[in-house]
């Protein structure tokens, strides 16, 4: 079946612009995660959804970052007033229950100029 998909794959934003990154999880997966991967680093947890409920947003670096999953499937990560330090690959992952293996999408590479 289809895996996790993300769009756009690449995004260039001027500093101060708002961006929205989309994630389509595997159909039927209850849990959805967002990670940020800076160059040369491993993925770092940003936030976690179980269905439409955002149960953990402890990893979001600032209040400029906002995530939603209104119908419990597709999720959007929004970054307002982007800064250069937001440049990274943003990875989305889903899992059936949240406590089993996570399946990752290809990521969105965000470059803020």
Q: In what order do the strands lie in the sheet with 75-79?
A: 5-7, 19-24, 75-79, 65-68
* Cβ at position 48, least distance to other proteins in Å: 6
Q: What 3-state DSSP class applies to 86?
A: helix
* Binds other proteins by CB under 8 A, chosen from 7, 13, 22, 45: 45
Structure tokens at 35: 């990670």
Pick between residue 66 and residue 103 the one whose CB is nearest to other proteins: 103
- Chain contacts with other proteins (rule: CB under 8 A): 4, 9, 31, 33, 40-45, 48, 56, 91, 93, 95, 98-99, 101-107
């Amino acid at each position: 079946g289809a895996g996790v998909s993300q769009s756009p794959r690449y995004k260039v934003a001027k500093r101060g612009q708002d961006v929205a990154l989309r994630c389509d999880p595997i159909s039927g997966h209850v849990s959805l995660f967002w990670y940020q991967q800076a160059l040369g680093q491993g993925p770092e947890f940003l936030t976690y959804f179980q269905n439409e409920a955002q149960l953990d947003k402890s990893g979001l670096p600032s209040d400029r970052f906002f995530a939603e999953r209104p119908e419990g499937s597709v999720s959007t990560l929004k970054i307002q007033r982007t800064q250069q330090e937001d440049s990274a690959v943003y990875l989305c992952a889903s899992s059936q229950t949240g406590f089993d293996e996570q399946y990752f999408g290809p990521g969105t590479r965000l470059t803020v100029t």
